Amino acid sequence: MANIGVDIELAKAILEQGNLVAIPTETVYGLAGNAFNVDAVAKIFKTKNRPTFDPLIVHVDSFDRLSEFTEELPEKAIQLTKMFWPGPLTILLKKKALISDLVTAGLETVAVRMPRHELTRELLKRLDFPLAAPSANPFGYISPTSAQHVHQQLGDKIEYILDGGECGVGVESTIVSFENKLPKVLRLGGISIEEIEEVIGKVEVNSHSSSQPQAPGMLKSHYAPKKKILAIDDLDSEVNDLSAFGFLGFNKPDLRFKLENQMILSESENLSDAAKNLFGSLRALDQNPNIHTIVISFVPEMGLGRAINDRLRRATAK
């Protein structure tokens, strides 16, 4: 089983050997390997049981590292990185040959971000290579926001989990592409549309997920618990016995369900808190032995609420 700790030098040694380490970020925990080592990247896909048509995000410790493996940055990409790096923003850039097609699922662009978590930034500074790192969970399941979540799911498949505590943001990064230098948000995440538009003006927002994603985390069905999950509007009105149903609500319980079977994202209606609590709450309901079905209620469709609702829609996707 994997060891859990804060030994950066041990994590560095494992990664330099071509093996994998789970790393903390401000969004979710990642399953990291040497982005320049195609065998290490292949291990990421195998360990997660992730399809190779779903590309990975490459993590760097500084803006200067980008020139090693990407082409020229569009001006609006530079503006965004100056404002939001380090942080939950991923940008798509034209890749150089140093990044394998396995990392990018054959695409000519590579997804890159600079994480904000101090432990992982220190690890990246000590490495001679960037880290490819999707979320550290079996493919399609709820993303992990603590070292213990990773251990429960992948502890028997990796050597080490770098423990950085609970993730502060709780949903994945926002992904922005710049095809023909025109910014487009491909995945909603920890940086809101409003924040992005304050920096670079109006942006197009991707309106649907894809079975052939242009960027990581764009599949229609994703972030899903193992138990049956449905939106509250899809709950059959003729179901009288809700004793084995769980409920995930935004700011208040639903009295139709047992209180002990409910998780509330933010009683104070704080969307940042709701995002931070999202995956942990879904996981708690999924692990509750008294529940066979999870019913979810959406949050206000604004700011981080858009990213939360995106994850909830994909968790309930057929």
Sequence-separated (6 or more) residues with CB below 8 Å from residue 39: 18
Q: Is 201 exposed, middle or buried (0-12, 13-18, 19+ CB in 10 A)?
A: exposed
Instruction: Please enumerate, by residue number, every residue annotated as part of a binding site.
Output: 27, 50, 59, 109, 113, 133, 135, 143, 173, 187, 223
Q: What share of the chain is helix, strand, coil (3-state, %, to 5)?
A: 30, 20, 50
Q: Which segments are annotated as binding site for ATP?
A: 50, 59, 109, 135, 143, 187, 223
DSSP β-bridge partners for residue 205: 185
Q: Are 247 and 254 in contact (CB under 8 A)?
A: yes
Sign of CA dihedral 23, 28, 31, 36: negative
List, as residue ranges, the binding site for L-threonine. 27, 113, 133, 173
- Per DSSP bridges, beta strands 160-162 and 21-23 are parallel
Report the C-alpha gap between 269 and 299 in whole angstroms.
9
| Contacts (Cβ under 8 Å, ≥6 apart) of 34 | 15, 16, 18, 40, 41, 127, 129, 131, 132
Q: What DSSP element (H or E) covers 48? A: helix 38-48
Query: What residue spans of 49-192 are helical by DSSP H?
Result: 66-69, 75-84, 101-104, 118-126, 147-154
Distance from the Cα of residue 170 to its chain's centroid? 8
